[in-house]
Amino acid sequence: MEEKNTRQLENALQQADSIEDFLQENEASLRPFTLAEYLEKLLAEKHLDKAAVVHASHLERSHAYHIFAGKKHPSRPKVLALALAMQLTPKETQYLLHYAGVGQLYVRDPWDSVLWHALERHLSVADTNLLLDQLSERPLLE
């Protein structure tokens, strides 16, 4: 059975007669990812080189590799640095933040809005930090 995407799952849930039926019929599509699994999935889907992403993230090299290996539980700013380095969309970033177990971006928060803007425009970590500084917001990475 083919794995369903999120929109297909949402539609199936809306049409389901019971939650039990939905869970049983969609078991193959409901497997949650670990952060490490989702990062690897993104690398493969986007044909990205892990070393290049680590470099672009401006994270300490060994720390970044530990995140990719699932050995570290990163802070929200570090997850966002990886999202910027991978040039993720805001939607992909929301999923990444979810799998990392940290808060998703909230556009009513000015700092989060700047990050959303940076993701939309595929800004680098350095350019995002410059923009945050120009707007008197705290930096992404200190």
Query: Same structural domain for residues 7 and 69?
Result: no
User: Taking the model in full, what pTM does it have?
Assistant: 0.84
For residue 103, what pLDDT is reported?
A: 93
Mean pLDDT across the stretch 64-87? 96
Measured distance CA(51)–CA(138) in Å, rounded:
27
| pLDDT over 70 percentage in the chain | 99
- 130 occurs within a structural domain: yes
Query: Same structural domain for residues 45 and 64?
Result: yes
Using one digit for the tens of pLDDT, what is the confidence trace for 35-55? 999 999 999 999 999 999 999
Distance of CA 97 to the CA centre of its chain: 5
Using one digit for the tens of pLDDT, what is the confidence trace for 106-137? 999 999 999 999 999 999 999 999 999 999 99
Average pLDDT in the chain:
93
Number of structural domains, the chain?
2
Mean pLDDT across the stretch 61-66? 96
For residue 5, what pLDDT is reported?
A: 83
Domain that holds residue 97: 35-134
Measured distance CA(78)–CA(81) in Å, rounded:
5
Query: Same structural domain for residues 79 and 114?
Result: yes
- 116 occurs within a structural domain: yes
- 46 occurs within a structural domain: yes
Residues 6+ apart with CB under 8 A from 107: 113, 116
Mean pLDDT across the stretch 94-105? 94
Query: Same structural domain for residues 11 and 41?
Result: no
Q: How many CA within 13 A on the CB side of residue 97?
A: 21
Q: Residue 41: which H helix or E strand, with range? A: helix 35-46
Query: Same structural domain for residues 54 and 88?
Result: yes
Query: Same structural domain for residues 18 and 49?
Result: no
Query: Same structural domain for residues 95 and 111?
Result: yes
Measured distance CA(119)–CA(18) in Å, rounded:
38
